A and B are shown apart, each in its own frame.
Chain A
Amino acid sequence: MDPFVNTQYTRTAISLHWLIALILLAGFSLGLYMHDLPLSPQKLKYYSWHKWIGITIFMLGLIRVGWRLTHRAPGLPSSMPQWQRKAATASHVLLYVLILIIPISGWLYSSASGVPVVYLKLVPLPDLVAPDKALAAQLKLLHKTLNFSLAALVFLHIAAAIKHQFADRDGLLTRMLPILK
C-alpha cells in the first residue's frame, strides 16, 4: 500500500459523494421509467418527484463543489501514470459540471414546457424561460443527452475504481470508502 494514498476524503466529502450517488441513481432511473408512461396521477407524481430530486442534487452539488474547492483532496498513488492523473482530474471536473448543469437543463425544459417547478410542493421556483414548444423539444433532447453522457462517465468512474481496487490493488478506493481499509 502506498503511504501517500493512505489518506481519505473528509467525512463531509465522503457523505456528499455517496448521498449524491444514491439520489442521482434514483433520479436517473425514475427519469428513464416515467417518460413514456401513459398519463396518470402516478406519472404526474413521478415527474414532480424527479424534479425535486434534480433540484436536491443541484443544491448538494453546489455544497460539494464549494467543499472541494476549499478542502484539499487526498493524493493519488505514486504508481499512477501522469495520463491517468490527468484523466482522473478531467473526469472529476466533468462529473461536477454535469451534476450542476443537468438539473438546470431539466428546470429549463420544465419552464419551456409551461410547467413551473414547485419544490417539494412548497416552494415555487421561478420560470427560467417563457413557454415555447420548439425550445422545449430542444431542451428535452439536451437533458437526455447530458444524462446519457453522465451515465457513460459514471460507468467509467466506477470501472476505474474497480480496476484500482482489484487490478492495481493500490488502495485508491479507500479514500472514498474507508471501510475497505
Chain B
Amino acid sequence: MTNMKGLSLQDRHAGSLLFAVALFSSGLAPAQSVVTEKSEVHFVSKQMNVPVDGAFKKFTAAVNFDPSKLDAAKAQFNVDLNSVDLGLPEVNDEVKKPDWFNTAKFPSATFASSSLKSLGGNKYEVAGKLTIKGVIKDVTVPFTLTPQAGGNALVEGAFPIKRLDYKVGEGSWSDTDTVADEVLIKVRLQLSGMPAAK
C-alpha cells in the first residue's frame, strides 16, 4: 500500500478491518506488522520486449516469521487487483477487463505459504499457493531478510510467473509475441516487531 496517504480515514479503517478479518480467517497470529507505507508489490512485464513496470497500490500481508522457528513461519497476501497501476489510465482500465484480471469477478489475488526454508545466511525460500483469476498454482519465492535496527526487517523477493497459466490476457492478448508470457513479480515488505536475535 504505497499510497495510503491518498485514502480517507474511513478507507483506512475498512482496510484495517479487512486485514483483521483476513488474519482471523487464516488463523495466523500476527507476530510481525507489515509497514504498508514502506512495502510494495511490483511486477515487470514485457510488451514488444519493452519492460513495463506495474504496481498494486493496495494489498494486505500477514507475516509470522521467526528465523529460529521456520517450521511455524507463515505468510499470507491479499492483493487488490483493482489497485493495479501501469502508469497510463487507458492501460489500467484495460487490465481490469475480463480478458485480463477480470476484477469484477476476481477482485483479488492471494498467496498463502505452505512451507519455508533457509537457503543460508539471510536467504530464504517460501513455497505456497498463488491464486489469480481463480487459478491456483504452486510457486516458490526466494527472498532475503535484512535485519534492521529496532526490531525491523526488510524482506525482498522476486519470482517469475507465466501469465497464461493464470489466464491473464485471453483472446487476442494471449499472443505472447506482443506481451510476453513471463511476468516478474517483486515484493518488498517492511516488517516491524521482529523477535530479538538469539
Contacts and interface: CB of A to CB of B under 8 A. Distances in A.
B146 interface: no
Nearest to B176: A41
A45 B49 CA distance: 11
B48 A44 contact: yes
Interface in A116-170: 116-118, 121-122, 131
Contacts of A115: 50, 52
B50 A41 contact: no
Interface stretch (B20-28, B56-64, B87-95, B154-162): B87-95
Interface residues of B, number: 18
Contact of B50 (A39, A42, A48): A48
- A-side interface size class: 10 to 19
B173 to A, nearest CB: 6
B179 A44 contact: yes
Contacts of A105: none
Contacts of B47: 44
B96 to A, nearest CB: 12
Contact of B48 (A39, A40, A45, A131): A45
Report which residue of B50, B90, B91, B177 has the largest number of chain A beta carbons within 10 angstroms of its beta carbon: B50
Contacts of A40: 172
Nearest to B51: A116
A117 B49 CA distance: 9
B38 to A, nearest CB: 22
Contacts, number: 37
Nearest to B86: A114
Contacts of B88: 113-114
Interface in A42-63: 42, 44-45, 47-48
A20 B42 CA distance: 41
Contacts of A47: 48
B118 interface: no
B175 interface: yes
B198 to A, nearest CB: 45
A112 B107 CA distance: 31
B3 interface: no
Contact of A116 (B50, B87, B90, B177): B50
B148 interface: no
B178 interface: yes
Interface in A11-57: 39-42, 44-45, 47-48
Contact of B178 (A45, A116, A118, A131): A45
A41 B172 contact: yes
Contacts of B179: 41, 44
Contacts of A117: 50
Interface of A: 39-42, 44-45, 47-48, 113-118, 121-122, 131
9 contacts: A42-B172, A44-B48, A44-B179, A47-B48, A113-B87, A115-B50, A117-B50, A118-B50, A131-B87
